[in-house]
Structure 1
Amino acid sequence: MRVGILSTGNIAGVMAETLNGMKEAELYGVASRSIEKAQAFAGKFGASKAYGSYEELAADEQVDLVYVATPMSEHYENVNMLLNYGRNVLCEKSFALNEKQAAEMFALAKKKKLLLTEAIWVRYMPMWKTLKEVLESGAIGKPMTVTANLCYLIDQVPRLMSLELGGGALLDVGVYVMNFASLIFGDEIEKITSTAVMTDTGVDAQNSITLTYPGGEMAVLNSSLRVLSDRKGIIYGTKGYVIVENINNFESITVYDENREVKAVYKQPKQITGYEYEVLACKAAIEDGMLECPEMPHKETLEIMRQMDAVRKQWGMRYPGEE
C-alpha cells in the first residue's frame, strides 16, 4: 500500500519511521507547502516523491492512502480536498474541531465511496483487545468507576496555545481520556460535568471532566498542557480493579483482586511505533471496500466530538467560525 503523508511535523516523522518498518505498506510521498521542507523530509525518510503543495499529493493517483498530520484547525479543509481528489484518508486526532465538521467530512467520504478514519491509535492496538477480554471475563466484577489522566509539559508548543489552530489540552490530549472512558463504558452518557483553567490566549490549559452513565458508572478524566502525569487509567470494579500504564499507548495491564493482590499482568507486544496498527486496519478496510475501520467507526468519532463540544460549551470556549 502506497502511503502519502500530508505535513512534515513530528508525528509525520513517526508515521514515516513506522512505514519504513512495515512490509505491508511503504512511504510513497510527502507533501508540504514548501518544496524544500518536503524534499528534506523525503530525503531523511526515503520517500519516493516530494510535493510542494498538498494538492499535488492529492492529485497523485498512485497514492492509496493519505495520512493527515496537519494542525486540527486544518483537518476539515485538508480532508475534504483529499476526498474530492479521490484519496482514502487516515486523519490524525482530534479528527476535527467539532462534530459538525466531522459529520460533513464523513458525509463527503460516503458520497465519494472512500475510506476515512480517525488515527486514534489506541483503538487499533492489540492491547485494547486484551483489556476488553479482561473486563469481559469478569476478573474485576462489574466495572463501575474509571479514572484516567494524560498530561504533558507542552504549553510551549505554539499551536497548542492558539485558538485559531484548534489549541488547548482537550482536543490534543483530552481526546485520549475521553476515548478511554468510551472504550470501557460506551457512549450513552447521562451527565457531563466539567471545569477548565484557561490560558490568556483563550484555550484550556488543563481540565477535569466527570461523565455519569445511566447504570451508575462514573468516569473522572483529567488532561493538561502544563504538568506531567503518570498517564494511568484505572478501572474499579465490584471484585477488583485494573491499572493500565499509559493510556496513550497501553504499556501494561495489571489485574488486582478484592485483596488488592496482583492476579495477572499483560505486557505490550513488540511494536514499531504503534502507528502500524492503524495503517494495517486501513489497508484491510480498503481491500474489503469498506468506508470506515471497524476499530474506529464513524459513529465513535462523532460521539467523542459531540462530548468534547458539550465540554467546551460548559467552558464557553469557541473556535473561530463556530456559532
Structure 2
Amino acid sequence: MSTQEHQADSRPDRPVTVAVLGAGRIALHMADTLAQMSQDPRYQQLVTPYAVASRSLDRAQKLAGDFHFARAYGSYQELLDDPLVDLVYIATPHSLHAEQATACLKAGKHVLVEKAFTLNARQAREVTDLARNLGLLCAEAIWTRYMPSRQLLDSILQSAPIGQVRAASASLCYPTTHKPRMTDLSLGGGALLDVGVYALNFLDMVFGSKPLSRIVSTAAMYPTGVDESNATTLIYEDGSLGQAVSSMSVACDRSGTIWGSQGYIVCTNINNIEAIDIYSSDHRLVHHYPVPEQLTGYEYEVAAAAQAIRAGQSECPQMPHADTVRLMSLMDTLRAQWGLRYPAD
C-alpha cells in the first residue's frame, strides 16, 4: 500500500500498518513474517509491512530493502513521528522495552513488545496502565501464547484425557553465552528473561492464575552476575506442582510434560510446540496431535494484535495484561531468591 493510499483509506477495517523497531535477529524474523503475511490471502487485508527503524540507517535500509518495506529510519524518533505507523513491534534488548514502549504509546502508536516484556513487574504495570489510559493496544509478543498449539493444548486439557492434572514440568535451554547481550547485567541478560520465561509460561498455560502457596528457586550464576542456569518449583495451594528449568550454557530436550491421575501429556519443544502426545498410565501412546503448518510462527501474535486494534482493545485475550504482570512478578520473586538485581531495579 502506498503512502497516498494509506492516507486516503480511513476505513476502520483497513490493514494495520506495522513498523519494526530494531534491526537484530528477532527483527529480521518479524520482517520476514510480515513480508510473508502481506502475500498470504489469510492476512493481506489485516496487516501491511511498512517501516523499519534502527539507530543505524544502513541496517534499517538493508532490512527494509530485503523485505520490501516502504520506509527505513536511522532513528527511533523518526518512526514515532510518522503518522502512518499504526503498530510498532519492539525487537530490542529487554532493558529498553519499557522506555521504548512508553515512547511509542505517548506518540499514539499501538505496541507489540517482544518478551521479556520489561525488566520487572513495576515497569510492566506502568506500561500496561499507560496503554489502558490512552486506549491503545499493548501486548507481550510471547509467541507460544498465540499459536494454534496453545488452543489445541487448552482443548485437550479441558477434555481431561489424563484425569486430574497434578503436576507439570518444562525445560528450555540453549548454549548462548557467546552472545554479548546474554551475559550483560545492564541489558537484563541471563537465562531467565530469555528462555526461562517460556518454561514459566508453559506452566502458566497449564495451571493458570490459581494461587501459589510456595515458590522455591535456585540459580547458578555467570561471572558477570546474571543467571547462567536456574531451576524453580511452584507449589500451588491445591497441592499441584510445577517445575521449570532454563539455562544459557547447555542444550536440553525442550520438553513440556503434564502429569495426571490417569496418564500424561508430552509437548515436543515448548518454544514452538511441534506435537502433543497423550499417554495412558501404563505408558501407552493414546493419541498423537500434530501441529498445523505455519509461516514462521510469529504471524499469530501479529494477527492477534491487529484484530485487537480493530476491536478497540488495549490488550490481547491470548496474553492479557494481568498474565504479563503476573509472570513478571513471578520472575521478580525468583531473582530476589537468587540475589539478582538489574540496574533498573
Which TM-score band applies after superposition, normalised by the shorter structure? over 0.9
CA distance in 1 between partners of 2:249 and 2:256 (Å): 19
State the partner residue of 1:96: 118
Structure 1 residue 273, shift from structure 2 partner: 0.6
- Within a 5 Å distance, the mapping from 1:1-323 to structure 2 comes to 1-22=16-37, 23=44, 24-187=46-209, 188-322=211-345
**Structure 2: gaps spanning 5 or more residues:** 1-15, 38-43
Residues 185 and 342, structure 2, Cα contact 8 Å, conserved in 1: yes
Count of residue pairs the alignment pairs up: 322
Give the deviation of 1:133 after TM superposition: 1.0
For 1:191, the aligned partner's letter is R
| Cα distance in 1 between the residues matched to 2:337 and 2:252 | 24
Q: In 1, Cα distance between the equivalents of 2:67 and 2:179?
A: 24
- Tell me the distance in 1 between the aligned counterparts of 2:246 and 2:229: 6
Q: Deviations over 1:138-168 (max 9, x none)?
A: 1000111111100001111100100000101
Deviation at 1:111, TM superposition (A): 1.6
> 3-state DSSP class of the match of 2:252?
coil
Counterpart amino acid of 1:105? V
**Comparing 184-193 and 298-307, the one that deviates more:** 184-193
Amino acid at match of 1:73: S
In structure 2, C-alpha distance between the alignment counterparts of 1:141 and 1:84, rounded to whole Å: 48
CA offsets per residue over residues 200-252 of structure 1, 9 Å max, x none?
10000000000000111101110000000110000010000000000011100
Root mean square deviation of aligned Cα: 0.8
Return the alpha-carbon distance in structure 1 between the equivalents of residues 340 and 192 of structure 2: 11
| Alignment check: 8 A CA contact 2:162 2:259 kept | yes
Q: Distance in 2 between matches of 1:252 and 1:44?
A: 32
Counterpart CA distance in 2 for 1:96 and 1:138 is 35
Following superposition, the deviation at residue 26 of structure 1 comes to 2.3
Secondary structure (helix, strand or coil) at the match of 2:185 reads coil
Question: What is the DSSP-based 3-state SS (H/G/I as helix, E as strand, rest coil) of the residue aligned with 1:264?
Answer: strand
TM-fit CA distance, 1:7: 0.2
What is the CA distance between 1:262 and its match in structure 2? 0.9
Query: What is the letter of the counterpart of residue 281 of structure 2?
Result: E
Does structure 1 retain, via aligned residues, the 8 Å contact 2:51–2:69? yes
Q: Distance in 1 between matches of 2:115 and 2:213?
A: 25
Write the deviation string for residues 104-135 of structure 1: whole angstroms up to 9, x where unpaired: 00111112110000001111111111111111
Q: What secondary structure is seen at the aligned counterpart in 1 of 2:62?
A: helix
- Partner SS for 1:190: strand
SS at match of 1:21: helix
State how far apart, in whole Å, the 1-side matches of 2:170 and 2:344 are. Answer: 31
Q: What SS does the corresponding residue of 2:189 show, helix, strand or coil?
A: coil
Whole-angstrom CA distance in 2 between matches of 1:99 and 1:171: 12
Please give the secondary structure, in 1, of the residue aligned with 2:344: coil
What's the CA shift for 1:256? Answer: 0.6
TM-score (normalizing by structure 1): 0.98
Q: Is the Cα contact below 8 Å between 2:119 and 2:344 reproduced in 1?
A: no
**What is the CA deviation profile of residues 268-302 of structure 1, one whole-angstrom value per residue up to 9, with x for unaligned ones?**
10101110000110111011100000000000000
TM-score normalised by length of structure 2: 0.92
Unmatched runs of 5 consecutive residues or more in structure 1: none
Residue identity opposite 2:98 in structure 1:
Y
> Structure 1 stretch 259-268 or stretch 242-251: which is displaced more?
259-268
- Distance in 1 (alpha carbons) for counterparts of 2:137 and 2:278: 37
2:187 match: secondary structure: coil
Q: Secondary structure at the match of 1:103?
A: helix
Identity across the alignment (%): 48
Distance 1:95 1:55 in 2: 21
- Three-state SS of the structure 2 residue aligned to 1:236 is strand
Shift in Å, 1:321? 3.2
Shift >3 Å, 4+ stretches: none
d(CA) in 1 for partners of 2:29, 2:194: 17
| 1:42 aligned partner, one-letter code | A
